[in-house]
Amino acid sequence: MSTPSIHCLKPSPLHLPSGIPGSPGRQRRHTLPANEFRCLTPEDAAGVFEIEREAFISVSGNCPLNLDEVQHFLTLCPELSLGWFMEGRPVAFIIGSLWDEERLTQESLTLHRPGGRTAHLHALAVHRSFRQQGKGSVLLWRYLQHAGGQPAVRRAVLMCEDALVPFYQRFGFHPAGPCAVVVGSLTFTEMHCSLRGHAALRRNSDR
């Protein structure tokens, strides 16, 4: 069985759409430590899980992924994750996997389907010390370009609470209706995004 390659994503200029704040590293480079964007590895699991646990437990009481599931996805499909590191420490991250059905199901929460063409975003979280700075927006935009640059990936999907629908719409996601997945008493809207435009942006930024 072949092992997916893991490659670092160097900080590079981004062409962000209007309404999405620019990277703080571009605005105040002289006051910030070094930034690095790269795919996560299993060794990053404990650090990013602590960020996820604090971010989600404080709001909804539930984590999208437990620690074993974080390690599971970072072992099977690290190329579908992305972390923002400052001085070697994670400050924000996204973890994804491949899915091969039109809509999300309860199984999609824990499975990686290597033949799928859909990147399922399980979790996006920002460390509490770095919130309200636009980091989640910058990271999500970078992730969509990264995922769109992978030939097998055609679209991205996620589920979110209704209050977050406008946030994801800014990145090209559109509501696909109520999600079949229910977590406790929480219900979600399923969001879909074509990655064709993001792939073109990635190609242009690499020139």
User: 13-28: per-residue pLDDT in tens?
Assistant: 444 455 555 444 444 4
Q: Which residues carry out catalysis?
A: 97, 111, 122, 124, 168
User: 1-15: per-residue pLDDT in tens?
Assistant: 433 333 444 444 444
Q: What is the pLDDT of residue 9?
A: 47
More confident residue, 84 or 186: 84
Q: How long, in residues, is the chain? A: 207
Which sequence spans correspond to the domains of the chain? 35-158
Q: What is the pLDDT of residue 148?
A: 94
Exposure letters 46-83 (e unless 16+ CB within 10 A, then b): ebbbebbeebbeeeeeebbbeeebbbbbbebbbbbbbb
Q: What angle (nearest 5°) sits at the alpha carbon of residue 63, between those of residues 114 and 123?
A: 45
Q: What is the pLDDT of residue 33?
A: 53
Q: What is the pLDDT of residue 38?
A: 96
CATH number of 35-158: 3.40.630.30
Is the model's pLDDT at 137 over the cut of 90?
A: yes
Q: List the single range of 58-67, 105-114, 177-186 with lowest mean pLDDT.
A: 58-67
